[in-house]
């Protein structure tokens, strides 16, 4: 269960970092428009480049690590849950047959 919780927190962190980076670029875009920008990237692309690629890479890494942790947690705990459900079904079938 710890892996699933850590994975969820990691995914949430990645999404928040990604979102805040995009918002920061949007807020910075009007200043870039007055100072000059790259014709290839446009105003928003230039603002995003000036803010930096590091936050975007960090958000991607957090997201991927979170997915891996969730999958790992499901592999560890998913089998136990399936075993418990099948045990309950067998118990239910046995009690129904005894009546």
Of the candidates 17, 5, 8, 18, the residue with the CA atom closest to the CA atom of residue 66: 8
Q: pTM surpassing 0.95?
A: no
Structure confidence at residue 1 as a pLDDT band (50, 70, 90): confident
Residue found by looking up tokens 């045990």 in the block:
87
Q: Which two tokens stand for residue 32?
A: 């870039």
> pLDDT tens, 52-91?
999 999 999 999 999 999 999 888 776 555 556 566 566 6
Overall average pLDDT of the 27-42 stretch: 92
Sign of CA dihedral 60, 13, 78, 94: negative
pLDDT at 23: 96
Distance CA 79, CA 73 (A): 10
């Amino acid at each position: 269960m710890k892996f699933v919780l850590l994975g969820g927190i990691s995914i949430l962190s990645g999404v928040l970092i990604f979102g805040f980076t995009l918002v920061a670029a949007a807020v910075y875009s009007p200043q870039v428009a007055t100072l000059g920008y790259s014709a290839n990237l446009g105003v928003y692309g230039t603002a995003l480049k000036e803010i930096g690629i590091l936050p975007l890479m960090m958000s991607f890494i957090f997201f991927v690590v979170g997915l891996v942790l969730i999958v790992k947690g499901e592999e560890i705990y998913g089998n136990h849950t399936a075993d418990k459900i099948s045990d309950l079904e067998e118990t239910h079938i046995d009690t129904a047959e005894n009546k």
